Amino acid sequence: MLDFNNTQLAFSSKSDNELKMVYVLFLAMKNRGVVSLAKGLTGFTERIGLPVGWAVKPTLYRHFVGGETLDECKLVIKKLKEYNIYSVPDYSAEGGGKLQDIQEAFNETKKAIDLAVKEPSIAYAVFKPSALIAGEVLQKLSTENPTLGEVEKEEYGNFRSRVLSLCETAHNSGVKIMIDAEHFAFQKYVDAIAEEAMGLYNKNSAIVFHTLQMYRTDRLDYLKELHKKAKERGYVPGIKFVRGAYMEQERQRAYELGYQDPIHPNKNATDRSYDDGLQYVMDNLKEFELFSGTHNYESNQLLARLIDEKGVERGDKRIFFSQLYGMSDNISFTLASEGYNVCKYLPYAPVNKVLPYLLRRAEENTSVAGQTNRELSLIKSELERRKTVNVK
């Protein structure tokens, strides 16, 4: 079984000072009070128009973000490559919705595709559907029988062309592209357009990857259904598995609007659903490509074991493991050193636009206390290990 506790390997890219900084950062994120205060202050300073960059940039931003622009990410991409880790530059500006923001998100994704053509250590391009259309329209499109006004119809048409244009550009450039998953309320239409794009561009291999949030009770059945449809229509589904990042909001919304909570009732059920998904795709690998986005030890170990047991080459490009930049380097560096394909999601955007992403990471690290304690204890043992080595 893979051992993710080799701290020398995990932190080989970090200096002592960088490690100490990260330690303090995770210590602060562990504290629910500090994160709530940061969230409140950020909202307040933004509302009154004060810049928050001075506080965020040398701390959260520096640790979790590759830079303000794709160009600025090149340094990190190069560094990760030295350790056989691929990158997925992810334009992470959120909360826009204005035409200018939409155009920016579209252009940035195109730029990432262009860069991936020149830079083979970029494994995928990626975009968030909600970055390409106003959230309200995407939500409306995902209802049972959407009735759209004239303007909304136009927005819908533009959204569809943007998504298909990005997938087509990726296809023509030979670059794989992922469609992130977001709120449950958007997802019905995102499922439809992801399936349409896969049908168009995944004829021989997977170019377009659809994200399944396995915290949803319906996703394992959906996966099987998708498999059936793909076989009938003759395409290779690209599946990106994640557990799902919006649990609290989803539960709250379901409660407020009085519909059945779409999320598994507990963590064990989500874990089982994730691992069953991995098992299903690995059992049918001839008809899939797979991207596993998780920091969970057991799921990473399971996938590594399945690859070996089934006699699939560790470097087979149909399968990628992935973690977020700034998190679980012990998993990424260990998998890469063992010859598996690993990439880091590398967010980038100007500091004020990436705040929702950063606050989500901070909250996640607060709520998943086990994960934060794990990071802290690994960093601590590495700092201690380095001290003893230096003394000798």
Ligand X SMILES: Cc1cc2nc3c(=O)[nH]c(=O)nc-3n(C[C@H](O)[C@H](O)[C@H](O)COP(=O)(O)OP(=O)(O)OC[C@H]3O[C@@H](n4cnc5c(N)ncnc54)[C@H](O)[C@@H]3O)c2cc1C
Chain positions contacting ligand X, by CB under 6 A? 180-181, 211, 213, 215, 242-247, 263-264, 266-267, 270, 293-296, 322-324, 345, 364, 368, 371
Specify the DSSP element, H or E, that contains 96: none
The least CB distance from residue 269 to ligand X, in Å, is 6
Strands (E), 205-288: 208-213, 238-242
Query: Which tokens sit at 9?
Result: 């390997």
Query: Closest residue (Cβ) to ligand X?
Result: 293
Please identify, using beta-carbon distances, which residue of 172 and 279 lies nearer to ligand X. 279
The amino acid present at 65, given as its one-letter code, is V
The least CB distance from residue 272 to ligand X, in Å, is 10
**Integer Cα distance of 318 and 313 in angstroms:** 10
Please identify, using beta-carbon distances, which residue of 274 and 288 lies nearer to ligand X. 274
Contacts of 266 (CB under 8 A, 6+ apart): none
Please identify, using beta-carbon distances, which residue of 21 and 368 lies nearer to ligand X. 368
The number of angstroms, rounded, from the C-alpha of 218 to the middle of its chain's C-alpha atoms is 20
The least CB distance from residue 55 to ligand X, in Å, is 25
The least CB distance from residue 88 to ligand X, in Å, is 7
The least CB distance from residue 294 to ligand X, in Å, is 4
Contacts of 116 (CB under 8 A, 6+ apart): 122, 123, 124, 125, 173, 175
The least CB distance from residue 180 to ligand X, in Å, is 3
3-state secondary structure of 180: coil
Specify the DSSP element, H or E, that contains 323: strand 319-324
DSSP structural state of residue 371: H
Please identify, using beta-carbon distances, which residue of 219 and 264 lies nearer to ligand X. 264
Please identify, using beta-carbon distances, which residue of 171 and 264 lies nearer to ligand X. 264
Please identify, using beta-carbon distances, which residue of 56 and 239 lies nearer to ligand X. 239
HSE-up of 237 (CA within 13 Å, CB side)? 27
